[in-house]
Copies of this chain bind each other. A is one copy, B any other.
Amino acid sequence: MVTPQESKPNNLVQTIERVSLILDILGQNPQGISVRDLSLKVSLPKGTTHRLLSSLSYLGYVRQDPKTRNYLLGFKLVELGNLLLGQLDLRKEAEPFLRELAERTKETVHMVILDRNEVVYIDKVEVAHNPSGLRMASRIGLRNPAHSSAVGKVLLSLFSDEALNQFLKEKKLSKRTEHTITDTVQLKEHLKMVRNQGYAIDDEENEKGVRCVGAPIYNEAGNAVAAVSISGPAFRVTKNMAQETLKKEVMKTALDISRRLGYRGGR
């Protein structure tokens, strides 16, 4: 089955489009932004921008700093976003396993799903005091390309030919670092290998200095619905480490979670 790319509706509601743009811009301004500056950024008259903001503000999607009068993102978004996260059964089931994995390996553990052919982080477990004190820049809700991450590649490796071609058609393989696989043929070869191994390594392909190992989580029906990964600084997560110990740890955790979801395969 092919997850269809959400095509641009020909009758996109103008207000919704504008609101989305406004929220994106507010997200980029942690200290808030004035009506004037915002109106310039969205190329709308001040009056129009203000009307949209006051409606959004009333409903909680936006808030206004009483001192600076700047507008910021509102907590309604936190409410809805975490409501959605809380509705993911997968997350509830997986959490203890993720914690355990983080504890054992002392590295950061992520769980992701695929949404519109992109990786979305739906959980993250960090150990309180990891050896180096380094913290991953990742955040729950963050999106990453599939082709440059361990979790993404391991999920892509289980795509049907049809779905993979669809993916390649709609996404271009952006070069995130010098190690990113940006060639279609090369990626296809690589994915074959990943599929056979049952895990993927992100060898500084998404972010310089960060190496990850990822494995797929299957549901009862045997479909890969998510992926787990261990991420860490490349100097600690060496290639050897990844291919030896970490690979086993991640695969075990992924299988445990899959079993928990009713998966019956995997030997």
A40 within 8 A of B: no
A19 within 8 A of B: yes
B23 touches A80 (CB 8 A): yes
A185 within 8 A of B: no
Nearest opposing residue in chain B for A124, CB measure:
B82
**Nearest chain B CB to A178 CB, angstrom units:** 28
Interface centre among A13, A78, A79, A99, by most chain B C-beta atoms within 10 angstroms, is A78
Within 8 Å by CB of A78, from B60, B75, B116, B120, lies B120
Tell me the bound Cα distance from A142 to B83 in angstroms: 8
Chain A window 73-87, contacts with chain B (Cβ cutoff 8 Å), 1 for yes, 0 for no: 111111111111111
With known contacts A30-B87, A52-B16, A120-B75, A9–B82 Cβ distance under 8 A:
no
Within 8 Å by CB of A75, from B4, B52, B55, B115, lies B115
Tell me the bound Cα distance from A51 to B3 in angstroms: 21
Tell me the bound Cα distance from A80 to B61 in angstroms: 10
Chain A window 4-23, contacts with chain B (Cβ cutoff 8 Å), 1 for yes, 0 for no: 10111101110111011001
A16 touches B17 (CB 8 A): no
Nearest opposing residue in chain B for A52, CB measure:
B13
B82 touches A139 (CB 8 A): yes
Identify which of residues 1-51 in chain A touch chain B, using a CB-to-CB cut-off of 8 Å: 1, 3-4, 6-9, 11-13, 15-17, 19-20, 23, 27, 30, 51
Residues in chain A within 8 A of chain B (CB atoms): 1, 3-4, 6-9, 11-13, 15-17, 19-20, 23, 27, 30, 51-52, 54-61, 63, 66, 72-87, 96, 99, 115-116, 120, 122, 128, 139-143
6 CB < 8 A contacts A-B? A9-B54, A13-B55, A27-B84, A77-B80, A83-B141, A99-B128
